[in-house]
Amino acid sequence: MKYGFDNDKYLKIQSEHIKERIAQFGNKLYLELGGKLFDDYHASRVLPGFQPDSKLRMLSQLNDHAEIVIVISAIDIEKNKVRTDLGITYDMDVLRLRDEFQKRGFMVSSVVITHYNGQKSADAFRQRLERLGITTYYHYTIDGYPTNVDLIASEEGFGKNDYVKTTRPLVIVTAPGPGSGKMAVCLSQLYNEHKRGIEAGYAKFETFPVWSLPLKHPVNIAYEAATADLNDVNMIDPFHLEAYGKTAINYNRDIEIFPVLDSIFEGIYGHNPYKSPTDMGVNMVGFCINDDEICCQASKNEIVRRYFTALNRLAQGDCCDSEVDKIALLFKQANIDTKFRRTIAAARERAEQTGVACSAIELQDGTIITGGSSALLGPSAAVILNAIKHLAGIDHSVKLIPQDMIEPIQHTKTTYLQGHNPRLHTDEVLVALSVLSTHDENCRRALEKLPELNGCEAHCTVMLGEVDHKIFKKLKVGLTCDPAKKRPSSI
């Protein structure tokens, strides 16, 4: 895989920058952590070389000085809001996050339930957390937040919230997803710390948009594509430009809220230590790109991938036309169209030739491998088999999995498990290969090539099931699918 990002440099300079910010505020900093912490696959796709857990590994260098506060909104608990990438509710993700942090040696000091207004589901979740020995606090809904500054920075606003007890210089405030109230928790803590004579500081740690890259850089455009459902828009930070005469990139929500934050800081401290929303950030990721062209190509691929993800969601009734339309407009900014992904044309061309669902994958050397549905295999399983056979130098005519082994598996699926689709999914093919590899040299050689699919791009002419999506994700293959359902004959 070709890398365009220096991960080791990032771990070093990012942790140093956060230490400097802690020292700037008298050794007490509330760090609002946006985005995903240890499963940031978007960043790893647009910045090849960035590891999905890079931010967590970086923060591990500050482990002895840090504690984590996890935030969840009572509104999200009430709605049973789901993390679509993991398929679990936000309240379950709080427990998952806590376990993952603790496994890596982090101190998770508490959970804060925000937007609390007496919701019974929030009360039940708090009881569950406390039975597990997890300290839990309530932060209440404040009328007129965030514009009613006089009320917010008062005893009836932030002063009404539970004071979150912390003991370490760096308090990392994170959440299962956006809209949880992380910033409000940080600001509430500043107010309540100030009441107790502690002058704490605040900073924001978000990877995207990258403030030090141009507004229309593909990495920043890819962020807009990734947040099309939130309607985020990248903008030049006017406050930064006015204060320093320098261009920096931020996004609309931070820019729109900055005058309010400025007033809140004034209400708490009598002054604002920051002159712009960009000043509040500590993101150093833009200084660790060592091959801009690789990151540009990867980001353009990501924009197209996000477009097809939105098309699939629209076909399933999970989003509206505006999300798809917005990403389509971003194509023009990035000077690309769907043909940028070579696998799309390859898969569609084979599908037209054969009349069946097909997939294509582009290997690291640029080779395009295709695979089509058959009586035995689905298109995703077929293309992975063909790809690893090619990488292992095995002739295409060689059948790695004999038909007399596939048929009993199909019989079990359709007869005993009452399934409707007899074709083998990707995971079933890989299990069969694993069994055969103990005595078949070709199967063993083919399996050993799976890691070489890392970073490859693939496309399928039909929407794939959850199982196949998970396999491609585990293999770290960027997958897109046409928003077409399987034909009745293939169900």
User: Which sequence spans correspond to the domains of the chain?
Assistant: 7-288, 341-490
| SS3 state of residue 47 | coil
Find, among 40, 139, 43, 119, the residue nearest to 77 by Cα: 119
DSSP state of 123: H
Of 200, 229, 228, 174, which Cα lies nearest the Cα of 28?
200
**Is the pLDDT score of 292 beyond 90?**
yes
Amino acid at the residue 382 = A
Q: What would the two tokens of residue 221 be?
A: 């455009």
Question: How far apart are alpha carbons 198 and 200 in whole angstroms?
Answer: 6
DSSP character at residue 415? I
Give the right CATH number for 341-490 from 3.10.450.50, 3.40.140.40, 3.30.450.20, 3.30.70.1450: 3.40.140.40
pLDDT tier, 267 (very low <50, low <70, confident <90, very high otherwise): confident
Best-predicted range by mean pLDDT among 227-231, 333-337, 482-486?
Answer: 333-337
**pLDDT tens digits, 324-363:** 999 999 999 999 999 999 999 999 999 999 999 999 999 9
Q: Which of 139, 193, 178 is nearest to 30 (CA)?
A: 193
Instruction: Look up tokens 């900093």; give the residue.
Output: 29
Architecture of the 7-288 domain: Roll (3.10)
Q: What is the pLDDT of residue 486?
A: 59
Region 13-19: mean pLDDT is 95
Q: Is the pLDDT of residue 490 over 80?
A: no
Please say whether the beta carbons of 169 and 65 come within 8 A: yes
Half-sphere exposure of 334 (CA within 13 A, CB side): 31
37-51, 108-122, 232-246: lowest mean pLDDT where?
37-51
Length of the chain equals 491
Q: Find the mean pLDDT for residues 1-26.
A: 94
- For the residues 160-180, what does the mean pLDDT come to? 95
Whether residue 466 is predicted with pLDDT greater than 90 in this model: the reply is no
pTM of the model: 0.88
pLDDT band at 321 (very low <50, low <70, confident <90, very high): very high
Tens-digit pLDDT profile for residues 86-126: 789 999 999 999 999 999 999 999 999 999 999 999 999 99
Cβ–Cβ under 8 Å, residues 209 and 33: no
| Whole-number pLDDT of residue 405 | 87
The answer to whether residue 488 scores a pLDDT higher than 90 is no
pLDDT digits (tens, 9 = 90+) for 402-438: 888 888 888 898 899 888 888 888 999 999 999 999 9
- Mean of the per-residue pLDDT values for the chain? 93
Query: pLDDT band at 230, cuts 50/70/90?
Result: confident
